[in-house]
């Protein structure tokens, strides 16, 4: 591993995103717009519902968006030959993976800062814990999405297939993360499955932050999300082969 190369990869990924104005605008504006729709929907019905569902949504954005963006961009690296070329150069696999994680983590930090600012500042989301910790959870979440995206790109040969991993791997996590039905109230089997899905811990962390000033459990949840991310990165590294059949 070499910090110069890691930063080169991160800088290049960020430059590519910056050049793509439409993607950049969607990355930053869509979460704010969706969270506003959520607030509006519950406004007349029961405003406390926004405090219940808002945090879950804040946990989901960075995960889903970074998963999608990463799986498509790394698939493109694999199919365009840039990855093959990079692997014949003095580039460590970790440089590649961490470069991506770093770039998308940074992007997620900006994205979440905006979404949190809108939620807390404009829409009145009541956060008991420290607001900055929401950002930490979001970045951990984004790195998880990036790591999973990198991993699945190894199992797709077209961008179409890569996108199909979203309903296959991401939507089950959204259903079982405890947003619709509290996890304790689920049938035992589903609760057990929910316990081994990383998004559950990300949503728990966000909900914990909103509900209480105690941060011990939140850090525990962040640690679980980080472990999942590291495991996915390690598996992702195993799919980057200098020699291919």
245 binds another protein (CB under 8 A): yes
- Tell me which stretch binds another protein (CB under 8 A): 47-55, 77-85, 142-150, 153-161: 77-85
88 DSSP assignment: T
**Binding test (CB under 8 A) with another protein, winner from 1, 12, 126, 155:** 12
The sign of the torsion formed by the CA atoms of 243, 232, 166, 20 equals negative
**Binding test (CB under 8 A) with another protein, winner from 20, 126, 195, 217:** 20
The pair of structure tokens assigned to 42 is 């519950």
Residues 230, 23: Cα–Cα separation, whole Å: 27
Cα separation values, 109 from 63, 66, 112, 167, 223, Å:
12, 11, 5, 25, 17
Q: Are 221 and 208 in contact (CB under 8 A)?
A: yes
The pair of structure tokens assigned to 234 is 């390690």
- Nearest-approach distance from CB 222 to another protein, in angstroms: 32
158 binds another protein (CB under 8 A): no
**Binding test (CB under 8 A) with another protein, winner from 1, 29, 80, 158:** 80
- Nearest-approach distance from CB 244 to another protein, in angstroms: 6
Between 52 and 76, CB nearer to another protein: 76
Cα separation values, 96 from 12, 19, 129, 154, Å:
11, 20, 35, 14
Between 80 and 128, CB nearer to another protein: 80
Between 4 and 48, CB nearer to another protein: 4
Per-residue burial over 110-133, b = 16 or more CB atoms within 10 Å of its CB, e = otherwise: ebbbbbbebbbeebebebebeeeb
19 binds another protein (CB under 8 A): yes
82 binds another protein (CB under 8 A): yes
The pair of structure tokens assigned to 218 is 């939140």
- Tell me which stretch binds another protein (CB under 8 A): 79-87, 100-108, 135-143, 225-233: 79-87
State the residues that interact with another protein by CB under 8 A. Answer: 4-5, 8-9, 11-12, 15-16, 19-20, 79-82, 84-91, 242-245
């Amino acid at each position: 591993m070499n910090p110069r190369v890691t930063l080169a990869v991160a800088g290049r990924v960020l430059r590519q995103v910056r050049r793509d104005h439409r993607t950049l605008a969607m990355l930053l504006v869509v979460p704010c717009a969706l969270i506003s729709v959520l607030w509006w929907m519950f406004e007349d019905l029961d405003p406390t519902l926004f405090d219940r569902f808002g945090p879950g949504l804040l946990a989901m954005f960075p995960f889903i968006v970074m998963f999608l963006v990463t799986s498509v961009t790394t698939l493109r690296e694999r199919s365009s030959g840039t990855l093959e070329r990079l692997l014949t150069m003095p580039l460590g696999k970790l440089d590649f993976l961490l470069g991506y994680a770093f770039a998308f983590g940074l992007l997620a930090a900006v994205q979440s800062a905006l979404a949190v600012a809108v939620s807390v500042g404009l829409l009145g989301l009541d956060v008991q814990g420290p607001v900055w910790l929401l950002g930490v959870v979001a970045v951990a979440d984004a790195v998880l999405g990036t790591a999973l995206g990198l991993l699945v790109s190894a199992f797709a040969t077209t961008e179409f297939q890569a996108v199909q991993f979203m309903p296959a791997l991401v939507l089950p996590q959204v259903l079982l993360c405890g947003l619709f039905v509290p996890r304790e109230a689920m049938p035992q089997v589903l609760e057990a499955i929910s316990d081994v899905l990383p998004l559950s811990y990300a949503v728990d962390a966000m909900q914990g932050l909103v509900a209480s000033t105690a941060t011990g459990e939140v850090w525990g949840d962040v640690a679980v999300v980080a472990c999942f991310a590291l495991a996915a990165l390690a598996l992702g590294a195993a799919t980057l082969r200098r020699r291919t059949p």
